[in-house]
Amino acid sequence: MSHDVHVEARNDAEYKLSRRKAGQAMRNQVTVFAIMIFLTFIAFAAVQAGFSAYLVLPIILLFAAVQVGLQLYYFMHLSEKGTGIIQFFLYSSVIVAFTMVLAFITIIWI
């Protein structure tokens, strides 16, 4: 069975390029993680400051939406090549869900 194994050797330039890309991806993930921690801190601070619920709720929902987007794009690797069909279905489902929520709100309030 071992005769079927194909080992592909990379030269030094390809190795350095892959290391640089991996380092950049790691820096991006750490930066995004720091941003998400900061957004969470702001949300907790808004609640602890005793602001009105009419101000705090939209802030928390906005920060939650931003964090979901960042998590999908960076931590679920949607920023990489070859994820176009996944992005299409994801964004289509977001549009359908938004339309359904808007329709239910319209039906309830009218």
Kindly report the pTM of this predicted structure.
Answer: 0.67
What is d(CA 34, CA 74) in angstroms, rounded to the nearest whole number? Answer: 13
Domain count of the fold of the chain: 2
Q: Using one digit for the tens of pLDDT, what is the confidence trace for 91-100?
A: 899 899 999 9
- Domain of residue 41, residue span: 2-79
Average pLDDT over residues 67-73: 86
Same structural domain for residues 15 and 52? yes
Locate 71 and state its tokens. Answer: 């998590």
Same structural domain for residues 53 and 91? no
What is the rounded average pLDDT for all residues in the chain?
A: 87
Residues ≥6 apart with Cβ < 8 Å to 36: 67, 70, 71
Same structural domain for residues 27 and 53? yes
What is d(CA 46, CA 52) in angstroms, rounded to the nearest whole number? Answer: 9
Question: Which of 64, 79, 91, 63 minimizes the C-alpha distance to 29?
Answer: 79
Q: Using one digit for the tens of pLDDT, what is the confidence trace for 32-53?
A: 999 999 999 999 999 999 889 8
Same structural domain for residues 15 and 55? yes
